[in-house]
A = this chain, B = another copy of it.
Amino acid sequence: MASRPPEDLARQRGKPPTIVDVAALAGVSIKTVSRVVNGEANVTDAKRAGVQAAIAALGYRPSASARTLAGARSFLIAMLFDNPSEAYLRDLQQGVVSRCRDSAYHLVVEPLDRHAPGVCDQVRATVMDLRVDGVVLTCPLGEDPAILSTLRELGTAFAAIAPMPGSEIPGVGMDDEQAAYDMTLHLLDQGHRRIGFIKGHAEFGVTPLRWKGFARALEARGIKPSDALTAQGEFTFQSGLAAAERLLSISPPPTAIFASNDDMALGVMAYAHQRGVAVPEALSVAGFDDTPAAGVWRPKLTTVRQPIFEMGFTAADMLIARAKGEAWSPTMRMLPYALMIRETTAPPRRALAERRAG
């Protein structure tokens, strides 16, 4: 008997169209359809147009599984994360997905607990089950030796968000140190001399960077960074609040506090509120990130705008380009940041008084 029975009829309704259906409609071989779908050369314009028409008519979309099995790519990017900031995560996801859409890629998310015993197995499972084409490592996962070595062992491409500069880890970041330097200068320029600083979570690579930028700016103006005016935070609202409590209890208290991220800066503002300390009149506050909340709270927070969406977009771009076989330069790309000077920073009272007198 013939080896292809009522196949084509059976396809009428039910399962989605395949490359065979498209080829039949367009009157070409499946290889030509494949060429058109993948934007390859060696197809005449007429045939290409015909195939495209057939694809549109059938609403054809190639099966990612079949492509994965036959080819070498899965059309899947995985994003690994263990980060406390929901807003940060959302922006990143949005950036990655936005890049994925143009190339029929999709984003698989993998929330992790980096201190749990089974993390590496989790990572291995995701990569091996899905054969993902690349992995986006949300900070601080790009600094995790266990995860990094798991990925390298698997031979999976990855791009870290804000990896340590000079660490040779491919990824996307910004100049955290310079940004912190700039923001500190802004505070200094307003006349602040006693500036409190809240460090980020110790496990994040950006934490020492932001601190360094802060300290360098102080020193540029002949001020020695003081331990008393430095508090350890964890990038959470709660830890910012606690740090503010400590910082504002010393005397004389700082006239400004620079927190290593917005969530902590918001915690500082909440504590100041509680204590009746007026912001920015009695205390200036600066943050880092420019989360949605920063622009919405009153007074509006002065902060550093991180290009989070763009970082996600760029990381996905690197990974997809590599999967397509384009040149892969495992380097760190730097994106521009911006100081968002809003309402929480102003000259300190004393400086104000002196200026009036002067």
- A129 and B89 contact, Cβ closer than 8 Å, known pairs A97-B110, A108-B107: no
Q: Are A129 and B90 in contact (CB under 8 A)?
A: no
Does residue A341 face the partner (Cβ distance < 8 Å to B)?
A: no
Tell me the residues in window 95-137 of chain A with beta carbons closer than 8 Å to chain B beta carbons.
Answer: 97, 101, 104, 106-111, 122, 124-126, 128-131
Does residue A59 face the partner (Cβ distance < 8 Å to B)?
A: yes
- A106 and B86 contact, Cβ closer than 8 Å, known pairs A69-B65, A111-B94, A296-B238: no
* Choice from B104, B126, B273 contacting A273 with Cβ under 8 Å: B273
Does residue A66 face the partner (Cβ distance < 8 Å to B)?
A: yes
Q: Are B111 and A108 in contact (CB under 8 A)?
A: no
Q: Are B75 and A129 in contact (CB under 8 A)?
A: yes
Q: Are B110 and A16 in contact (CB under 8 A)?
A: no
* Assembly CA distance A106 to B125 (angstroms): 10
Q: Tell me the smallest distance from the CB of A265 to a CB of chain B, in Å.
A: 14
A124: chain B residues within 8 A (beta carbon): 59, 61
Q: Are A93 and B109 in contact (CB under 8 A)?
A: yes
Q: Tell me the smallest distance from the CB of A52 to a CB of chain B, in Å.
A: 16
Does residue A62 face the partner (Cβ distance < 8 Å to B)?
A: yes
* Assembly CA distance A237 to B294 (angstroms): 11
Does residue A30 face the partner (Cβ distance < 8 Å to B)?
A: no
Does residue A226 face the partner (Cβ distance < 8 Å to B)?
A: no
Number of copies: 2
Interface string of A49-73 (1 = CB under 8 A from B): 0000000000101111110110000
Does residue A298 face the partner (Cβ distance < 8 Å to B)?
A: yes
Does residue A293 face the partner (Cβ distance < 8 Å to B)?
A: yes
* Choice from B65, B126, B129 contacting A62 with Cβ under 8 Å: B129
* Choice from B74, B109, B296 contacting A65 with Cβ under 8 Å: B74
A270: chain B residues within 8 A (beta carbon): 297-298
Does residue A87 face the partner (Cβ distance < 8 Å to B)?
A: yes
Chain B CB within 10 Å, residue with most, of A76, A104, A109? A109
Does residue A329 face the partner (Cβ distance < 8 Å to B)?
A: no
Does residue A12 face the partner (Cβ distance < 8 Å to B)?
A: no
Q: Tell me the smallest distance from the CB of A61 to a CB of chain B, in Å.
A: 4
Does residue A274 face the partner (Cβ distance < 8 Å to B)?
A: yes
A104: chain B residues within 8 A (beta carbon): 125, 129
A111: chain B residues within 8 A (beta carbon): 90, 93-94, 97
* Choice from B94, B109, B274, B293 contacting A237 with Cβ under 8 Å: B293
A109: chain B residues within 8 A (beta carbon): 93, 97, 107-109
Question: Which chain B residue lies CB-closest to A105?
Answer: B129
A76: chain B residues within 8 A (beta carbon): 108
Q: Are A296 and B237 in contact (CB under 8 A)?
A: yes
Interface string of A26-63 (1 = CB under 8 A from B): 00000000000000000000000000000000010111
Complex A-B: 11 CB contacts under 8 Å: A64-B130, A65-B66, A86-B292, A94-B111, A97-B111, A101-B125, A106-B108, A106-B110, A106-B126, A107-B109, A273-B273
Measured CB to CB, the residues of A under 8 A from B are: 16, 59, 61-66, 68-69, 74-76, 86-87, 89-90, 93-94, 97, 101, 104, 106-111, 122, 124-126, 128-131, 236-238, 241, 270, 273-274, 292-293, 296-298
For the complex of A and B, 9 pairs with smallest distance between CB atoms: A86-B86, A65-B68, A61-B128, A65-B65, A86-B90, A65-B69, A86-B87, A64-B129, A106-B108
